[in-house]
A and B are shown apart, each in its own frame.
Chain A
């Protein structure tokens, strides 16, 4: 597609369930980023990939969070045993260049609500 595509756009789940959020970056983009954004706040860095290699996962809050990009294109952010504090907008971005040396292209986000 023309832009970064995220799915699902909205996810409501019960506490304790696992969720998987998907990101399809712009074709050919090398880098892919995951951010989390709380209402009224700026995006908070979670992790990023260059091609299929996860370069930095220092922003993942705990070991319930993981991300992969096995073929260097689509990425999945997985949250295991969800908790209410995980509720947020999860945003994916991609870039044609490595390492945020240029602009990031953001998707519309996946809004997660944990009941």
Chain B
């Protein structure tokens, strides 16, 4: 079973535009993480936000967390063709220490 659900499932944008994807989850969390996966390769960690944080930035990435709504969003600003990938949110539940659970992902295509 997967904890998180990403929305939309797929997103197509042009270079320079912003890309926003959302993640909803079901149980209380310790932290929420976002990962990127290029063409079936290994997942790469992007950013981690803890349950007591509301917003975090890393370069062109901005993550928000609303624990009352059990949701998070990932914003990629000024997208590039190299941002084409699948993006996954993953949650560490407060009652499942160590068991990081992933959603089904959002597939992002950035066209030049």
Contacts and interface: CB of A to CB of B under 8 A. Distances in A.
Decide whether A and B assemble into one complex.
yes
Contacts of B90: 42
Contact of A89 (B2, B30, B40, B48): B40
Q: Is the interface of A mostly helix, strand, loop or mixed?
A: mixed
A61 B4 CA distance: 20
A62 interface: no
B53 to A, nearest CB: 14
Given A107-B42, A108-B42, A109-B42, A44 B100 contact: no
Contacts of B96: 56
A99 interface: yes
B31 interface: yes
Contacts of B98: 31, 48, 50, 55-56, 98-100
What are the nearest 6 A-B pairs in CB distance?
A42-B102, A103-B45, A106-B42, A100-B100, A99-B98, A106-B43
Interface of A: 4, 31, 33, 35, 40-45, 48, 50, 55-56, 58-59, 89, 91, 93, 98-109
